């Protein structure tokens, strides 16, 4: 038996995507290991769905399962079109118990960018941890966001794991550090079950919400995402996805 996969990234947030295959959490730990496996921030399993066009399951490097990934959804949209699993410019994907609508920007036979309807965020108040105030926001995944004076000096690796595993978050949480400059939100990420990542789609959405802006650029270490809220409060995220290579692993 072997796993056929394609590797993609969204602003350096990288994923292995497999269609119509099954993988256990223990197998995902081995496959996603950057030293002894292929290496990635997550493994996405895509299947046909009865409630949408496709379903989406995301396994993390520690073997746990996350609800959804904003960058991963863009990668899945590009994967489905360019691997000829779907031929339309709008695709519905079931992820984390919700239906996400992906709008593909198509140039010839390639997808240049993807716009994702991320839904209405849930703002759950604030909590004081590690001497800082954190905004609790759900954008499909749980997030804790704090504002810093200097994004380059943000204590990501020091506070990220402490906040992720704090008892205030029974299912653990993703952690964001942001600095707001006009319509630009600088953000750095500690992802639940992963660690430091170059970008996070749901984390970027939570960062924009925490900033108080209704539209702007979220600038991540991996690049920029365009995020805006409509009059109903829904978040729309637009950004690139890149195909890296295809492979097979026993």
Q: Count CA atoms closer than 13 A to 203's CA, side-chain side.
A: 30
Q: Which residues pair with 5 in a beta bridge?
A: 247
Residue 159 to residue 214: CA distance in whole angstroms: 28
Q: Which residues pair with 214 in a beta bridge?
A: none
Q: Which residue has the tokens 């943000």?
A: 154
Instruction: Give the SS3 label for residue 59.
Output: strand
| DSSP letter string, 140-204 | SSEEEEEE-S-GGG--HHHHHHHHHT-TT-TT--EEEEEEEETTEEEEEEEETTTEEES--HHHH
Residue 73 to residue 8: CA distance in whole angstroms: 11
From 191, 186, 182, select the one nearest 154 (Cα to Cα).
186
Count CB neighbours of 111 within 10 A.
23
Q: What is the pLDDT along the chain (250 residues), one digit of tens a residue?
A: 799 999 999 999 999 999 999 999 999 999 999 999 999 999 999 999 999 999 999 999 999 999 999 999 999 999 999 999 999 999 999 999 999 999 999 999 999 999 999 999 999 999 999 999 999 999 999 999 999 999 999 999 999 999 999 999 999 999 999 999 999 999 999 999 999 999 999 999 999 999 999 999 999 999 999 999 999 999 999 999 999 999 999 8
Q: Are 167 and 144 in contact (CB under 8 A)?
A: no
pTM: 0.95
Name the helix (H) or strand (E) containing 205.
Answer: helix 201-211
pLDDT of residue 250: 87
pLDDT of residue 19: 98
DSSP collapsed to 3 states, 71-99: HHHHHHHHHHHHCCCCCCCEEEEEECCEE
pLDDT of residue 46: 98
Instruction: Give the SS3 label for residue 20.
Output: coil
Q: Which residues pair with 187 in a beta bridge?
A: 178
* Per-residue exposure over 26-48, b if at least 16 CB sit within 10 Å of its own CB, e if not: ebbbebbeeeebbebbbbbbbee
What are the chain's domains?
Answer: 3-116+239-249 (3.10.310.10), 122-233 (3.10.310.10)
Residue 250 to residue 243: CA distance in whole angstroms: 21
């Amino acid at each position: 038996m072997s796993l056929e996969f394609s590797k993609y990234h969204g602003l350096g947030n990288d994923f292995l995507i497999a269609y119509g295959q099954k993988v256990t959490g223990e197998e995902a730990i081995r496959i996603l290991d950057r030293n002894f496996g292929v290496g990635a921030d997550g493994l996405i399993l895509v299947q046909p769905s009865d409630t949408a066009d496709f379903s989406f399951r995301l396994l993390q490097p520690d073997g746990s399962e996350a609800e959804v990934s904003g960058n991963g959804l863009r990668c899945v949209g590009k994967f489905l079109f360019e691997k000829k699993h779907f031929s339309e410019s709008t695709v519905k994907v079931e992820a984390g118990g919700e239906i996400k609508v992906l709008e593909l920007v198509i140039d010839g036979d390639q997808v240049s960018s993807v716009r994702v309807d991320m839904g209405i965020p849930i703002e759950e108040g604030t909590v004081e941890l590690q001497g800082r105030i954190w905004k609790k926001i759900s954008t499909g995944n749980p997030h804790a966001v704090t504002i810093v004076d200097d994004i380059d000096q943000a204590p990501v690796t020091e506070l990220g794991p402490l906040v992720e595993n704090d008892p205030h978050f029974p299912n653990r949480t993703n952690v964001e550090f942001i600095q707001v400059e006009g319509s630009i939100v600088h953000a750095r990420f500690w992802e639940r079950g992963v660690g430091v990542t170059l970008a996070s789609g749901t984390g970027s959405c939570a960062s924009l919400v925490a900033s108080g802006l209704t539209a702007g650029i979220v600038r991540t270490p991996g690049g920029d995402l365009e995020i805006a809220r409509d009059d109903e409060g829904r978040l729309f995220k637009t950004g690139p996805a890149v195909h890296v290579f295809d492979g097979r692993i026993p």
